Amino acid sequence: MSENDNLQDADGKKEVESIETTPTPKTTENVEIVSDSEPSEKTEEHPEKITGKTEVVADTKSATNQASEEVSNTAAKVETENNDSDANTVTEAEAEISAATQTPKDDLVDEIEASNAEDAEDESNAERHEVEEKDYHAMSMQELATELNRLLKHHKIQTISKNVNEIKSEFNAKFSELLDEKKEEFVEEGGNEIDFYYTNDTKKLFNALYKDYKQSIGAYYKEREQNLKSNLDNRLQIIEDIKGLLSVEENMGTTYKTFKELQDKWRNAGPIPRDKYNNAWNTYHHHVERFYDFLHLNNDLRDMDFKHNYDQKLKIIERAEELAQDENTNRSFRELQVLHKLWKEELGPVGKEHREAIWERFSNATKAIHDKRQAYYADMDKAHEKNLERKEEIIAKIVNIANDQANSHSAWQKKIKEIEALRDAFFKAGKVPIKVNEATWTKFKEAVRTFNRGKNKFYKELKKDQYDNLKKKKELIQIAEDHKDSEDFKKVTPMMKKIQNDWKKIGHVPRRDSDKIWKQFKKACNHYFDRMHAERKAQDRHLYDAFDKKVKLLEALKTLELSDDPKANIETLKSRISEWKEIGHVPQNKRYIDGKFYKAIDDAFDKLKMDKSKLEMIKFDSKLENLANPDDTRLLDNEYNFIKKRMSEIKSDINQLENNLQFFSNVKSDNPLVKDVHKNIANHKKELDTWKKKLSKVRGMYS
């Protein structure tokens, strides 16, 4: 059935003038072409494709001008032919032209025409495809607000509706999740659910940006609705003017020129409401065909017109066949829509012998693109299924972490980081099938919410413990402040040291109080101990004076230059030792200086050139003087035990060496190995004698 079968002439049963002139009011929703779901490449990347389209239009206009000139030259002949022709000729021409505009229908063509009707409502529709579509699901709330701001600044308002709606949906979902978390925390902290309110700067920014978008898009559609109505009225008037040409009694050349002018006005009349698009175009084509029938163009002129249309449609077919090889299915389909629009709106009929063949060829190319596009969406569905599997795995991991209850702050912090990483992975995992999108999102939110409940419960209990700890530490602060000015150092000092140890054993307190109470406690303790140290320093002034003298004596010993006379040097070093002992005791915390002094004395003795055993005993005598303390024999006891142990080790070594000699019973005494063993035994015995003398001196120190 022809597209125009429902449009009959004035003698028929239906009236073409029944087209409504008032456009249906448009809402601001669902104004984008829904056939494209992926970001599109800009047209500038493929200039050769645009060239093909323009060439078709340009050739069409060229043929129109040529036809106009030929009609002007043959107007008289046409008039004569009109007078001679019979009714059968008119009927045949009408049937041929009507069939030439006929378009076989299937689901794909319906989809293309519906999309073109939508595009016809907005001539800037091509710009929609220049808006880059990003993975909004993987963006944070701040990133979504930034992206919305970018779209508002850099794109026409009518081209971003689809993007804005997706951004809004993702932002609301993420903010809803955050809102649930904050609400749970509020209630768990003792708040009333009725009193809960939460917002943040990102939410305020997004609301302001979305309000700007709604105002701008509303103003745009209000203005466009008026333009669409005006353009529809103009197009209906053009149809009426073409109908009126059939009753004009003037030169056919003039009438034909008027007809071509009306066609140009039609092409430039601007967009009209989408629901009026197909009806208006079919009505227009119907009356254009009636005009051609009325005109009775001669066969040469009609054949020339048919040939031009045939050539241009072949170009469209060739371009469609090229598109069928393009891997970018969405881009191919968008251009295919343009080709169908050119086929329908710019070109007329072709010769009867070519009509079925070229339409079949065009349909095959169209079907190839459609099949490829369906395969692309099938692959996309598979990818979405894989994304679903990945998200299910992530949700399962979150559930496992939520069920594994930790009992320490560090463990919960580790789990929080793991959950954050899983949340990011979930958002970056890509889209899932639409039918399970809401259910998957709900499962994810519930898993995260379960984790947050466990986390909040732990920290709520931890906070209770922290407040108990805060109370305990404030009690210690009170004790420290009550005794910081005490003069009874003997009694208070042990107590102050005890509360310092108790402080360390008490656990964490709320963070906002931690620094404050620590500074308060530290100040009170420092005040007491500074007073105590000052008091003791005053009492032990003579000890500090002794320390200062020993420091000077130690520095002098380090720079002491010894003579070549060992005995004189020994006397010098002994005198330094006697001088050191005469200075007396130093403060307890300064006694390390004695060790430094005797280390320096040992180093000085090592520089003397004398028998090592004698030197060893001289050094030991100076060491014993340092160990002598009638009130504390621990150092002397340690030295006694060390000497006994060392003597036992030497005796063991001597026994081992003597046992080894038994293996050399058949070896001469001058054998190098035997001589070496005897030498080692002699050295060990000599060393043992030295240690025996040291032991004797230590015993003498006890008496």
Q: Helix/strand/coil (H, E, C) string of 430-488?
A: CCCCHHHHHHHHHHHHHHHHHHHHHHHHHHHHHHHHHHHHHHHHHHHHHHHHHHCCCCC
Q: What is the mean pLDDT of residues 481-510?
A: 90
Indicate whether 482 pLDDT > 50: yes
Q: In 123-200, where does DSSP find H-type helix?
A: 141-154, 161-188
Indicate whether 150 pLDDT > 80: yes
Q: What confidence tier does 3 reach under pLDDT thresholds 50, 70, 90?
A: very low
Model confidence pLDDT, tens digit, residues 117-138: 666 666 544 444 467 777 787 7
Indicate whether 540 pLDDT > 70: yes
Count the residues in the chain. Answer: 703
Indicate whether 475 pLDDT > 90: yes
Indicate whether 414 pLDDT > 80: yes
Q: Which of 38, 40, 49, 26 is nearest to 118 (CA)?
A: 26
Model confidence pLDDT, tens digit, residues 24-72: 333 333 323 223 333 333 333 333 333 333 344 344 344 444 444 443 3
Better-predicted residue by pLDDT, 400 or 456 = 400
Question: How many Å apart are CA 256 and CA 262, to the nearest integer?
Answer: 10
Q: Which of 367, 313, 319, 315 is nearest to 345 (CA)?
A: 313
Indicate whether 23 pLDDT > 70: no
Q: Which of 488, 479, 490, 491 is nearest to 525 (CA)?
A: 479
The mean-pLDDT minimum among 248-257, 368-377, 550-559 falls in 248-257
Better-predicted residue by pLDDT, 604 or 669 = 604
Q: What is the pLDDT of residue 315?
A: 93
Model confidence pLDDT, tens digit, residues 98-117: 333 444 446 666 667 666 66
* CA angle in degrees (0–180, nearest 5) for 472-476-480: 170
CB 38 within 8 A of CB 219: no
Q: 328: which DSSP letter? A: -
Indicate whether 474 pLDDT > 90: yes
Indicate whether 519 pLDDT > 90: yes
190: three-class secondary structure by DSSP: coil
Q: Which of 278, 265, 295 is nearest to 103 (CA)?
A: 278
Averaged confidence pLDDT in the chain: 76
Indicate whether 586 pLDDT > 80: yes
The mean-pLDDT minimum among 345-359, 425-439, 475-489 falls in 345-359
Q: What is the pLDDT of residue 100?
A: 38
Q: What is the pLDDT of residue 299?
A: 56
SS3 readout for 75-101:
HHHHHHHHHHCCHHHHHHHHHHHHHHC
Burial bucket for residue 630 (CB in 10 Å: 0-12, 13-18, 19+): exposed
Indicate whether 662 pLDDT > 90: no
Q: What confidence tier does 246 reach under pLDDT thresholds 50, 70, 90?
A: confident
Indicate whether 209 pLDDT > 70: yes
Q: What is the mean pLDDT of residues 526-554?
A: 86
Q: Which of 111, 217, 126 is nearest to 168 (CA)?
A: 217
Q: What percentage of the chain reaches a pLDDT higher than 70?
A: 77
SS3 readout for 29-73:
CCCCCCCCCCCCCCHHHCHHHHHHHHHHHHHHHHHHHHHHHHHHH
Half-sphere exposure at residue 460, Cβ-oriented, CA atoms within 13 angstroms: 13
Q: Please tell me the pTM assigned to this model.
A: 0.43
Q: What is the pLDDT of residue 96?
A: 37
Indicate whether 278 pLDDT > 60: yes
CB 162 within 8 A of CB 32: yes
Indicate whether 206 pLDDT > 50: yes
SS3 readout for 525-553:
HHHHHHHHHHHHHHHCHHHHHHHHHHHHH
Question: How many Å apart are CA 500 and CA 583, to the nearest integer?
Answer: 37
Q: What is the pLDDT of residue 630?
A: 66
Q: What is the pLDDT of residue 207?
A: 94
Question: How many Å apart are CA 247 and CA 241, to the nearest integer?
Answer: 10
Q: What is the pLDDT of residue 399?
A: 92
The mean-pLDDT minimum among 431-435, 473-477, 554-558, 621-625 falls in 621-625
402: three-class secondary structure by DSSP: helix
Question: How many Å apart are CA 460 and CA 454, to the nearest integer?
Answer: 10
Q: What is the pLDDT of residue 211?
A: 92
Question: How many Å apart are CA 421 and CA 423, to the nearest integer?
Answer: 5
